[in-house]
Structure 1
Amino acid sequence: MGYPDGGGLTAEGRARREAVRLQATAMFAQDVPVPEIAGRLRVSHNAVYVWRRRWLADGEGGLASKGPSGNGWRLSNAQLDALAAALEEGPAVHGWVEDQRWTLSRVAELIVRLFRQRYTLRGVSLLLHRIGFSPQVPKLQGERAVHVESG
């Protein structure tokens, strides 16, 4: 699942986890056994073994937080603004004249046309939420439509 900051943890959450890893470094220096460290810090033995290898190789720096995980966003802020503007123009402007609904599959196709980036329908849904659009289920149709009012 994608999260706004990339890895599902806030900066505070990453800092808390880093603090736990740094507590482990003090215990490594005192030759505290791995099972005892794991018990004290309430983490898995495997995590402690990984941390110890990093600590031996790179010191405390090897246990520092590397920031949010994930690949980041594929579309820039300018591209997101352009996508929002295209959605506001309506489907007919972009070739869908049979009805005036944006569907996830249509938005995915629009993204390919505009930016040459492919997204799954779930990825399109997450992207639309990120830029302030919400999905709606039409009363007579089974496919999800996209509500194009920002908010």
Structure 2
Amino acid sequence: MFGQSSCSRGGVSHAEIARAVGVCAESVRRWRRVWEQDGASGLRRRAATGRPPKLDDSQVEMVRAALEKGAQVHGFEADLWTLERVGVVVTRATGVVLSRASVWRLLTGRLGWSLQRPERRAVEWDESEIARWIAHEWPRIKKGP
């Protein structure tokens, strides 16, 4: 494929290769330079590196341990976690400030947590008292005076 760089040397042009493969000609030129410099091993697929995470594995475990203690231990009124609250705990535990999106990725990706919505139920909710009321009080009220 990369034996010739242009039609003038008897091979297929970069543009023709690009059309056949479905990429731009510049990609073909780049691949050719890599092939000439490093051979076929230079063209092997490599894992995308991307930006390194702000928290290393030990910091993630520190955050996990802190979050598992509950929100009230960290001074929050209700024992519910929000992205903002988790962000505060991350900063306190590690000194690293994360955006809301990064906190979400930390929770759902590296910690494996999922979104949980609290039940909208009164704290005083008592199933046995409700059953008793339905069985005894409701028939009396329905019957009337």
Question: TM-score with structure 2 length normalisation?
Answer: 0.65
Instruction: State percent identity of aligned pairs.
Output: 37
Asked if 1:72 is matched to 2:46, the reply is no
- State the match for 2:106 in structure 1: 127
| Paired residue secondary structure (1:50) | helix
Asked if 1:51 is matched to 2:31, the reply is yes
Q: How many residues align?
A: 113
Distance 1:75 1:33 in 2: 47
- State the match for 2:139 in structure 1: none
**Larger deviation, residues 29-38 vs 63-72:** 63-72
Residue of 25, 34, 37 corresponding to 2:17: 37
CA RMSD of aligned residues (A): 2.3
- CA displacement 1:53-85 (0-9 Å, x = unmatched): 333444434433332321233322232222112
- Kindly indicate whether the alpha-carbon contact (under 8 Å) linking 1:125 and 1:135 is maintained by their aligned counterparts in 2: no
Asked if 1:63 is matched to 2:43, the reply is yes
Which consecutive residues of structure 1, in runs of 5 or more, have no partner in the other structure? 1-26, 141-151
Alignment of 1:15-26 (within 5 A): none
- Kindly indicate whether the alpha-carbon contact (under 8 Å) linking 2:31 and 2:43 is maintained by their aligned counterparts in 1: yes
Distance 2:90 2:29 in 1: 44
Name which structure has the greater RCO, CA cutoff 8 Å, separation 6+: 1
Question: TM-score with structure 1 length normalisation?
Answer: 0.62
**Larger deviation, residues 61-70 vs 108-117:** 61-70
Which consecutive residues of structure 2, in runs of 5 or more, have no partner in the other structure? 6-11, 121-145
**Larger CA Rg, structure 1 vs 2:** 2
Distance 2:36 2:95 in 1: 44
- Kindly indicate whether the alpha-carbon contact (under 8 Å) linking 2:66 and 2:93 is maintained by their aligned counterparts in 1: no
Asked if 1:28 is matched to 2:2, the reply is yes
